[in-house]
A and B are shown apart, each in its own frame.
Chain A
Amino acid sequence: MSRFSIFSLARNAMSWHQNWPRQWRSPDPKPEYDVVIIGAGGHGLATAYYLAKEHGITNVAVIEKGWLGGGNTGRNTTIVRSNYLWDESGLFYENAMKLWENLSQELNYNVMFSQRGVLNLAHNLGDVRESIRRVNANNLNGIDAEWLNAEQVKEFCPIINISKDSRYPVMGATLQRRGGTARHDAVAWGYARGADDMGVDVIQNCEVQGLMIDNGTVKGVRTSLGDIKAKKVAMACAGHTSVVADMAGIRLPIESHPLQALVSEPMKPVIDCVVMSNAVHVYVSQSDKGELVMGAGIDAYVGYSQRGSLHVIEDQLGSAMELFPLFSRTRMMRSWGGIVDTCPDASPIVGKTPVKNLYVNAGWGTGGFKATPGAGWCYAHTIAKDEPHDLNAAFSIDRFITGALVDEHGAAGVAH
């Protein structure tokens, strides 16, 4: 792997940047691997990277139905934060945040991680109490969080409308200064490049059509490119987890929904932080290109169509206009949808399954991107040791039987 540096940049400038090598191979699948990961999105690639780096397991394939990072990794609104309420989630996401803070250096790849601060707005007394409680819980877990009143919100984000006459008045907000955004594609590309360098095969256009299961133990996957044997198989295919789990006869508490996002035409810098409102389903940031990146809520119905209904976007933009009257004449340029796996308690499932040597990483709902490094790190540990790490032990499938749910509806970006 050629390392990126000021020197390699200068050297390649001499040849008009025509001679940069490819960043990863496109190998044919081998007949057998130690670990096959289903899904080459951020989570799957991060898992492969940490399997190779932390656990020395390099005979790994990451297989992908479409193209690398083309699912939810390439469709999210790139927000990163760790201000979750419960200890289990707070510590889990904070571990991810610490990995984010060093990710560009770790991968020698600029993931454009920008800790510009994330505001979560409160619009009524219930929100205010819940938010202050969450700030306190975060501080007890060593996660940075502050409570801002309406005037302080205005100071932090001057274009926000804090009028008391507003349909959704801003009564305050929590602020995580270490939160921000990252370039979503670059995260997938950086992990793919790093994993490939350590010997991991990233195989695109390879659809899983079945699982080989013998006596309750997974033996491999049947794919559109033929059968691939594997000692361990790990799902990282958010959106379609139920479809793959069904091949193993596993029932999951997951429902897939369309989630939409949209970007505006590029404009001059107007908003230098991330503003989120769980209650009215608005989350806004501005990309380096100047586009406003906005997300909507999920469509209520189960769907795999990667598109949602217009009224969801209308509701979301209506709320956004109240908060940011300045945007009223902004034209929206593109909108798209992704398929999100939602769990009943708005927390993910990362762990073992009833089938031996088959693992599941799913149920991230609307907020899987921020977890990418941490999820990959914990998932790799779970696969390598056949035992979850302390950080993801609480996120087992068993919690739906024991009742030990991790209810994060308050801290999730979008209600579902």
Chain B
Amino acid sequence: MLYIKCPWCGERDETEYHYGGEAHIVRPENPDELTDAEWAEYVFMRTNTKGVHRERWVHSDGCRRWFNVARNTVTNEIVSVYKTGEKPDLPEAVTTKPAPAKKAAAKKAPVKKKEGA
């Protein structure tokens, strides 16, 4: 059971929340110009991070507001909780801790996405 600190209500049990998937996936601004591959990237492809993962949660049994959580998917440690529209940098020590052996991980996804709200 995770304990998640809602930015508005404070710390509550995981059962009060619902998970909303990977955060910071921005809807394309030019949908009619997108190729099928670019649509697939937006709709289906996910980073599925082993390590610190930025994700959305909604406090569905509380204030019913959405927010973002940075959580380590290996240890379940919650590194940061922040409001929608924000994207704070995470301490380097935190983001590199879980998978020290993996060198290639620094390489980002091939399709660049515009980071928005």
Known: A209-B101, A247-B104, A400-B40. A252 touches B48 (CB 8 A): yes
Cβ–Cβ contact A344 & B44, under 8 A: yes
- Nearest to B103 among chain A residues (CB) is A210
- Number of B interface residues, CB 8 Å? 39
Cβ–Cβ contact B45 & A302, under 8 A: no
A242 at the interface (CB under 8 A from B): yes
Cβ–Cβ contact A255 & B76, under 8 A: no
Q: Which of A119-127, A305-313, A323-331, A371-379 contacts B (4 or more CB under 8 A)?
A: A305-313
A interface footprint on B25-61 (CB within 8 Å = 1, 0 otherwise): 0000000000011011101111111100101000000
Chain A residues with Cβ below 8 Å from B45 are 251-253, 400
Cβ 8 A contact of A305, one of B14, B76, B104 = B76
Chain A residues with Cβ below 8 Å from B14 are 309, 311
- Nearest to B53 among chain A residues (CB) is A302
Docked Cα-Cα span, A193 to B71, in Å, equals 41
Known: A207-B101, A210-B103. A401 touches B76 (CB 8 A): no
Docked Cα-Cα span, A346 to B44, in Å, equals 12
B interface footprint on A218-247 (CB within 8 Å = 1, 0 otherwise): 000000100000000000000010110011
Q: How far is the CB of B81 from chain A (nearest CB, A)?
A: 14
Chain B residues with Cβ below 8 Å from A309 are 1-2, 14
Q: How far is the CB of B21 from chain A (nearest CB, A)?
A: 8
Cβ–Cβ contact A210 & B104, under 8 A: yes
B9 at the interface (CB under 8 A from A): no
- Nearest to B107 among chain A residues (CB) is A249
Known: A255-B46, A311-B1. A303 touches B76 (CB 8 A): yes
Cβ–Cβ contact B102 & A300, under 8 A: no
B105 at the interface (CB under 8 A from A): yes
B73 at the interface (CB under 8 A from A): yes
Docked Cα-Cα span, A240 to B74, in Å, equals 12
Docked Cα-Cα span, A204 to B21, in Å, equals 34
Q: How far is the CB of A304 from chain B (nearest CB, A)?
A: 5
Cβ–Cβ contact A251 & B73, under 8 A: no
Cβ–Cβ contact A240 & B41, under 8 A: no
Known: A305-B74, A310-B1, A311-B1. A256 touches B18 (CB 8 A): no
Known: A252-B45, A304-B73, A304-B74. A401 touches B103 (CB 8 A): no
B110 at the interface (CB under 8 A from A): yes
Docked Cα-Cα span, A331 to B47, in Å, equals 39
Docked Cα-Cα span, A402 to B22, in Å, equals 23
A-B contact pairs, 10 of them (CB 8 A): A209-B101, A210-B102, A210-B104, A242-B46, A242-B47, A253-B40, A253-B46, A255-B22, A302-B48, A401-B37
Listed in ascending order, the chain A residues whose CB lies under 8 Å from chain B are 207, 209-211, 224, 240, 242-243, 246-247, 249, 251-256, 300-305, 309-311, 344, 400-403
Supplied contacts A302-B49, A400-B44, 4 more A-B pairs, CB within 8 Å: A242-B48, A252-B45, A252-B48, A401-B40
Listed in ascending order, the chain B residues whose CB lies under 8 Å from chain A are 1-2, 13-15, 18-19, 21-22, 36-37, 39-41, 43-50, 53, 55, 71, 73-76, 99, 101-105, 107, 109-111
